[in-house]
Amino acid sequence: CAVIGVPDDVRDEAIVAIVVPDAQASGPALTEAEVIRWCRERLAAFRVPQVVRFRDELPRTVVGKIQKHILRRSVDLSSGSS
């Protein structure tokens, strides 16, 4: 999972959570509403992501750090897809 800020016309910056679901998890698939509900129960309101995107994997450097600049470029809030 990674959390990034992306430019937004309304809020100046929107919080986007990028989630990689566990492929080995049994049960129903994770939804955007479930992630946001989980965050609302545990985080302050200003920290709850407005958008959740699901990906198969996160881009990483050679040493394993998440490359957030690549994620920022790939997130398009207008279309609802990443």
pLDDT confidence of residue 80: 52
- pLDDT of residue 70 exceeding 60, the answer is yes
Among candidates 82, 80, 78, 81, which has minimal Cα distance to 70?
82
Q: Give me 12's structure tokens.
A: 């100046």
How far is residue 17's CA from residue 19's CA, in Å, rounded to a whole number? 6
- pLDDT of residue 62 exceeding 80, the answer is yes
Q: What is the DSSP string of 51-78?
A: EEEE-S---B-TTS-B-HHHHHHH-BTT
Rg (CA), the chain: 13
- pLDDT of residue 82 exceeding 60, the answer is no
pLDDT, tens only, 36-54:
999 999 999 999 999 999 9
pLDDT confidence of residue 78: 58
pLDDT, tens only, 17-28:
999 988 777 667
